[in-house]
């Protein structure tokens, strides 16, 4: 089972991943929580959700726009944002838009080439779950995400910005 790190109230911890990612060519299991590709969700998502018996998530690739999920977000438990290569920074914008523009309250999960060296950026952009590709533990993840005592710009997280600290 791929290990999942979840961020709960600012603390990183191991979590059992209830979700299974279903590739387009595979059958959707009869029961259980699933994460589908965007195309699959657009085709079969309504039916799955209508059953009301399972949670559904969608995996978004970097070249797919999160705007297309705008109306479905309230019904989605997870949005998984893919990093095919850690250098592909599009998911940071996607995460931020999900949180700030669409007010998404569900889980925003980082999948793919997810490395602790980018933990800080991910947390600040609103990711709250991570499938690390480098063997990182929650402790290592926490440590990596908290290297900086100060930040210079507002992001999704509630950290006070440097100029707010100065004003106080």
Partner 1 sequence: MYQYDLIDKEFLADRSAEFRGQVARRLSGELTEDQFKPLRLMNGLYLQLHAYMLRVAIPYGSLNPTQARRLAQIARDYDKGYGHFTTRQNIQFNWIKLKDAPEILDKLAEVDLHAIQTSGNCIRNTTSDPYAGATAEEVDDPRVWCEVIRQWSTLHPEFSFLPRKFKIAITASAKDRTAAKVHDIGLLLRQGRDGQLGFEVIVGGGQGRTPYVGPTIKQFLPTDRLLSYLEAILRVYNRHGRRDNIYKARIKILVAALGAEEFARQVEEEWSKIDAARADLPAPELARIRAAFATTPFKTLPARSETFEAAKASDAAFARFVRNNVRPHKLPGYAIVEISLKAQEQTPGDASADQLDVVADLAERYGFNDLRVTHAQNLVLPHIKLDDLPTVFAALQTANLATPNIDLVSDIIACPGLDYCALANARAIPIAQDIARQFADLDRAEQVGELKIKISGCINACGHHHVAHIGILGVDKKGEEFYQLSLGGSGAEDASIGKILGPALPADKVATAVDQLVGAYLAVRTDGERFLDTYRRVGLEPFKEAVYAQAD
Q: Residues in the site for partner 1, rule: CB under 8 A?
A: 62, 65, 86-90, 92-93, 96, 100-101, 115, 117-118, 120-122, 124-125, 134, 147-155, 162-163, 165-167
- Which is nearer to partner 1, 46 or 134 (by Cβ)? 134
- Which is nearer to partner 1, 29 or 85 (by Cβ)? 85
- Which is nearer to partner 1, 11 or 153 (by Cβ)? 153
In the complex, minimum distance from the CB of residue 45 to partner 1, in angstroms, rounded to a whole number: 23
Q: Which two tokens stand for residue 34?
A: 């699933």
- Which is nearer to partner 1, 53 or 146 (by Cβ)? 146
In the complex, minimum distance from the CB of residue 28 to partner 1, in angstroms, rounded to a whole number: 30
Q: Give CA separation, 68 vs 83, 99, 157, in Å.
A: 19, 15, 24
Interacting residues of 29 by C-beta distance below 8 A, sequence separation 6+: 20, 22
In the complex, minimum distance from the CB of residue 15 to partner 1, in angstroms, rounded to a whole number: 23
- Which is nearer to partner 1, 17 or 128 (by Cβ)? 128
In the complex, minimum distance from the CB of residue 46 to partner 1, in angstroms, rounded to a whole number: 27
In the complex, minimum distance from the CB of residue 118 to partner 1, in angstroms, rounded to a whole number: 8
Torsion of CA 62, 68, 73, 77, to 10 degrees: -40
Distance from C-alpha of 65 to C-alpha of 74, rounded to nearest angstrom: 17
For 84-165, strand residue ranges (E) read: 107-112, 129-130
State the sign of the Cα–Cα–Cα–Cα dihedral 70, 64, 131, 83: negative
């Amino acid at each position: 089972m791929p290990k999942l790190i979840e961020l709960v109230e600012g603390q990183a911890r191991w979590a059992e991943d209830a979700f299974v990612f279903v590739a387009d060519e595979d059958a959707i299991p009869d029961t259980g929580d699933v994460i589908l590709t965007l195309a699959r969700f657009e085709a079969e998502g309504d039916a799955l959700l209508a059953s009301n018996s399972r949670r559904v998530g969608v995996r978004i690739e970097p070249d797919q726009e999160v705007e297309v999920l705008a109306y479905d977000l309230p019904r989605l438990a997870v949005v998984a944002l893919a990093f095919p290569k850690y250098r592909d920074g599009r998911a940071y914008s996607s995460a931020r838009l999900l949180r700030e523009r669409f007010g998404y309250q569900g889980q925003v999960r980082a999948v793919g080439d997810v490395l602790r060296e980018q933990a800080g950026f991910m947390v600040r952009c609103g990711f709250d779950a991570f499938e690390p590709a480098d063997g990182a533990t929650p402790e290592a993840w926490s440590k990596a995400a908290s290297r900086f005592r100060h930040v210079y710009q507002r992001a999704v997280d509630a950290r006070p910005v440097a100029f707010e600290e100065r004003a106080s």
